[in-house]
Amino acid sequence: MAHATQQRKPLPFAATFVAGAIAGCSEILTFYPLDVVKTRMQLQVGASSLGLGGTFKTIIAEEGFGRLYRGLAAPLMLEAPKRAVKFAANDFWGKTYRGIAGTDKMTQGISIATGCSAGATESIVVVPFELVKIRLQDKNSTFKGPMDVVKTIVRDHGALGLYAGMESTFWRHFWWNGGYFGSIFQVRALLPKAESPQAQLMNNFVSGSIGGFVGTVINTPFDVVKSRIQGANKPAPGVVPKYNWTYPALATIFREEGARALYKGFVPKVLRLAPGGGVLLLVVEFTLDVFRKALGPPYV
């Protein structure tokens, strides 16, 4: 009887880290062109009539198909350290908030708080890679590659220049993670209980996709601001940047371009992150299951 009720042992951190890295790289390689299109749309100031399809066609016609993968190295290089921080932060904040609440169970409120805090922690690692990616994705970019971006920024602005957009990145990750993990918790509770491994994978994909959609709805305005801050050249000495801090920048864009401008790039972003969130959860769970079977008891 004791054996029948015994819970399986959690997998080692190395296994969850590798599973997360594989899932993240799979998502990036599948959906990266949508990220390039999203950034181009967000960097356009004022009205634009191109839209998703028009931006795709313009990039391919004027710059070639390969431009849709420009800047890919930065997020791929980032994936391993980002996943390590994400899993460690999720574990730390989850335990912390459960301890504060005096419970061993994960509630939706704790899930949202954990996601927000882990996202904020993750942003510290992400900023330099995001900055390099944005600079390479910009239509007017003349950089030869990621290292050329890094050398130029460090030469002109010092090492701290690599952290331009730190505050806006913090808010982007804070709100996306909160919406993503909070939604996943709620959707999983509403879905019928999986009776087979295939049904469990489908539940993971559905909950991850909905979580990705909700997170995107919440954090797109912050992503627009981040792109504007990181895509801008440093102004002349004594001149205050037009986009500097997140919330004043949100107000500036709303006042000058209207509410719709805060959702520039929403369509390619949601087309990437909604199914991308599902793919992430699907690949992670599938890979973890492979590890459990390979390691055997007590992980099965």
What digits encode the pLDDT tens for the residues 163-222? 988 999 999 988 888 888 888 888 988 988 888 878 888 888 888 888 888 988 999 999
The DSSP symbol for 239 reads P
% of the chain residues with pLDDT over 90? 12
pLDDT given at position 45: 77
Question: Which residues 6+ apart lie within 8 Å of 45 measured at CB?
Answer: 257
Least confident of 38-47, 144-153, 184-193, 282-291: 38-47
Residues 207/191, Cβ–Cβ less than 8 Å: yes
Which of the two residues, 280 and 288, has the higher pLDDT score?
A: 288
Query: The pTM is what?
Result: 0.76
Residue 6 has pLDDT above 60, yes or no: no
Span 155-159, mean pLDDT? 89
- 25-279: in CATH 1.10.3470.10: no
Which of the two residues, 274 and 207, has the higher pLDDT score?
A: 207
- Of 27, 75, 36, 30, the C-alpha closest to 58 is 36
Q: Which of 61-65, 174-178, 238-242, 273-277 is most confident?
A: 61-65
Token duo for residue 175: 């709100």
pLDDT band of residue 282 (cuts 50, 70, 90) is confident
Average pLDDT, the chain: 84
pLDDT band of residue 48 (cuts 50, 70, 90) is low
Residue 4 has pLDDT above 70, yes or no: no
Question: Which residues 6+ apart lie within 8 Å of 273 measured at CB?
Answer: 212, 213, 215, 216
* Cis amide prior to 128 (ω within 30 degrees): no
